[in-house]
Structure 1
């Protein structure tokens, strides 16, 4: 059947719609390149009613409708009319019915955001009432519109869409609102996020723990930890129960800022709501306590983890050993190191480095060397940082020849290490402390 006959049937509709549309899509799938004059003339016979008929008839596959629609959008000069908002909404509803949400959002973006094709919200909302009669699809359309406005950071249009849905009894998808909250927090619009959460609650929509946690995270990141806790307490009274992620968000913020007063309140609320500490909670607490010098409290928490059967990784012990080393409590650091072995927690290179550094600072270079040799025997690589710390420790105790001996030993162990700094320091010490013998080890130093 020729294209001319197909186009003529649009007015008479003497042929079946399925056959008519099939011939159209076959033509559009392989259009003449370039389009000949006959095809251009025939396409000009298409009218808005015929287009809406093709796009809305359920006998036509949605994918074919979209193909046909996109073809016309790209070749609007070939038809005698401008594709209007109703045509866009017709294909949009078809896409939403078949769960083709990405394609639907692209069309929504085209009519509501794109500068050359922008329709005000109230115009789109009025047209939806005419073009989309099924409540379920209409709800999907407005929720998709809310998401499109949110993606484009058009906050005012989001609120306009939300209020229209609320006023007209259109079902609000809480998950879509959660996505909007995520967008607001990502854009540092924390107060807008808090306001939208309240708006969501006042609409009668059940506020999920996910939406609550998104706003709590935003408040914590902006330093409003107390406000985040108060929000959680408020939402608990209204039926939204926080989960472990909500609490860990606040615990992490308190620990990083050493806000231990607020931390106690968060932990008390956590206990009140029956939410148990998990591995992440302990990690945040131990990290915060050790960095603040509260190492004994951190060590107590590690013991608590063992008692509860929670897996304690090497990193947590490294934090404690490093914390004791910074405080100069080398006995406690060694004790923690021994406890690791008793509890079958395997030390790594960072564990040894934390302990060796603390021993060197405390002047316990003999013990430090013991752990260096143990570290080496276990196959851990010795780096220049550890070696320099040992050299510094020996130098500070005026153990110059021991430092020289260590240098020669370490040059054999770490062949690629840059020992120029060690040589300079040892040579300087030899000359300043024992000038009469300064020339004697020179060849060995420069070997």
Structure 2
């Protein structure tokens, strides 16, 4: 990740008492800003890492030498634990001492190089396979295709695919699925659909994951008709749509305000025995939060269906009630939790954003507390929304307290966090303090963006008008 990228991790305990206008709200459970893995888990992982290296070194000096299978086992465990450079280094030592790799070893190394975005070395290893008299298998080829796609070299992955098929290599569903996913991420949906047709010509049947990947992107780009066509094709092929397929179509129709169509897919999903998950719920909450559609929420959730009414309708009524009536109901996230659908950080972020946007920062703090109490780990986006809400709610001191605490603990806040705080200072007429924070931001190697400069320019122009 680049220097200003948000790190989606948990944070350490935040000793924060946020004051409400009526009373003091103290976080009932400490702000769970702990690292993603607890200390004892980290210790266990570190010990396992050192044990693997120690075992490997012992193997190298063992007489008689161990089989390549034992070497592969250690290299594979290191690669799985994301210690890619260590795995590559240890293999070099083994090769120096005369160990001859097999295809399994080569595939481990390819995977390591691909995760390090070193495709030059990865393809050099492919050349080594031919020199050893081995033939690459589908794992080898899939790893290289995936590596190119991970590095946003989808065009090169496509060329590599053409080269392989021209040479008679047989690829599988994983190969095609990887290419389809890469093409869809770049918005090349027509090419992704053409690839499905190529699969059919090679007698490989596209699976539900491949179809759902394209349907999801078609819906996100607003191509609902084409998404429907692929959905129908899936059914004709005897494939059963899954939760991703249905959630994508529901989202596509909701985004276009086509509530009846969304309702049809929601009930079709239920009739097929597919239980909606938190992702489906997040889609609905997000759409309704943006639209304030209480009546459509009732249509979507089918009030004649008792299970859906009990599970979801109360929560979406609450969300829309917030937006329409500017009131808060007790325990929104608790209601979701009690109904058997555990909210995740995305759910809470959507709700928190809706509340803070409606300038009900007190309710936002209450929601944040519920989030913490239920064990939902806040991420940097959560903090950005909360800090922004506090700034806009004229609670600059509270916002600054959270911001400074994160900086003091060495957490790399991003350009949006700095810009939110700079905007908060400018809104209070603290232009000099905002410029000081801008300098501090640059010192932390987090470069301001156009939004940051627009905030400062607007504040500066306002200051000049006041002087005039």
Task: With the length of structure 1 as denominator, give the TM-score of the two structures.
Answer: 0.50
Q: 1:66 aligns with which of 46, 51, 60?
A: 60
- Give me the whole-angstrom Cα distance separating, in 1, the residues matched to 2:162 and 2:267: 41
Structure 1 residues 295 and 316 mapped into 2: Cα distance closer, same or farther (>3 Å)?
Answer: farther
Gaps of 5+ in 1: 1-60, 70-89, 118-127, 392-406, 422-447
- Residue in 2 aligned with 1:346? 311
Q: 2:89 aligns with which of 78, 99, 106?
A: 106
User: What's the CA shift string for 1:343-379, capped at 9, x where partnerless?
Assistant: 3441377413333156x3xxxx6xx98x959989979
- Give me the whole-angstrom Cα distance separating, in 2, the residues matched to 1:268 and 1:184: 32
User: What's the CA shift string for 1:399-444, capped at 9, x where partnerless?
Assistant: xxxxxxxx9xx9xx99x9x9x98xxxxxxxxxxxxxxxxxxxxxxx
8 Å CA contact retained: 1:317, 1:340: no
Q: 2:251 aligns with which of 270, 287, 299?
A: 287
Q: 1:355 aligns with which of 310, 320, 326?
A: 320
8 Å CA contact retained: 2:259, 2:299: no
- Residue in 2 aligned with 1:201? 165
How far the C-alpha of 1:180 sits from its partner, in A, is: 2.7
Q: 1:248 aligns with which of 193, 209, 212?
A: 212
Structure 1 residues 221 and 175 mapped into 2: Cα distance closer, same or farther (>3 Å)?
Answer: same
- Give me the whole-angstrom Cα distance separating, in 1, the residues matched to 2:106 and 2:336: 62
Task: With the length of structure 2 as denominator, give the TM-score of the two structures.
Answer: 0.48
Q: Which has the higher helix share?
A: 1
- Residue in 1 aligned with 2:271? 307
- Give me the whole-angstrom Cα distance separating, in 2, the residues matched to 1:317 and 1:252: 16
- Residue in 2 aligned with 1:228? 192
Secondary structure of 2:135's aligned partner: coil
Larger mean CA deviation between 154-163 and 253-262 belongs to 154-163
- Does 2:134 align with 1:170? yes
Larger radius of gyration: 1
Structure 1 segment 43-192 matched on structure 2, within 5 A: 66-67=60-61, 94-96=67-69, 99-100=72-73, 102=75, 105-109=88-92, 138-140=102-104, 142-143=106-107, 146-147=110-111, 149-150=113-114, 153-162=117-126, 165=129, 170-192=134-156
How far the C-alpha of 1:222 sits from its partner, in A, is: 0.9
User: What's the CA shift string for 1:167-206, capped at 9, x where partnerless?
Assistant: 8752213223323333222221112222233334344443
- Give me the whole-angstrom Cα distance separating, in 2, the residues matched to 1:383 and 1:168: 58
How far the C-alpha of 1:325 sits from its partner, in A, is: 8.0
- Residue in 2 aligned with 1:83? none
- Give me the whole-angstrom Cα distance separating, in 2, the residues matched to 1:178 and 1:191: 15
- Give me the whole-angstrom Cα distance separating, in 2, the residues matched to 1:146 and 1:309: 41
- Does 2:240 align with 1:276? yes
Structure 1 segment 406-417 matched on structure 2, within 5 A: none
Q: Which has the higher contact order (CA 8 A, sep 6+)?
A: 2
How far the C-alpha of 1:307 sits from its partner, in A, is: 2.3
Aligned residues: 293
8 Å CA contact retained: 1:299, 1:320: no
Structure 1 residues 336 and 374 mapped into 2: Cα distance closer, same or farther (>3 Å)?
Answer: farther
Secondary structure of 1:304's aligned partner: helix
- Give me the whole-angstrom Cα distance separating, in 1, the residues matched to 2:196 and 2:115: 27
8 Å CA contact retained: 1:172, 1:205: no
How far the C-alpha of 1:220 sits from its partner, in A, is: 0.8
- Residue in 2 aligned with 1:22? none
- Residue in 2 aligned with 1:267? 231
8 Å CA contact retained: 1:321, 1:333: no
8 Å CA contact retained: 1:255, 1:288: yes
- Give me the whole-angstrom Cα distance separating, in 1, the residues matched to 2:291 and 2:276: 23
User: What's the CA shift string for 1:236-264, capped at 9, x where partnerless?
Assistant: 22133222222221122112221224323
Structure 1 residues 376 and 253 mapped into 2: Cα distance closer, same or farther (>3 Å)?
Answer: closer
Structure 1 segment 368-407 matched on structure 2, within 5 A: none
Q: 2:175 aligns with which of 198, 205, 211?
A: 211
How far the C-alpha of 1:301 sits from its partner, in A, is: 0.7
- Residue in 1 aligned with 2:203? 239
- Give me the whole-angstrom Cα distance separating, in 1, the residues matched to 2:151 and 2:333: 49
- Give me the whole-angstrom Cα distance separating, in 2, the residues matched to 1:161 and 1:376: 51
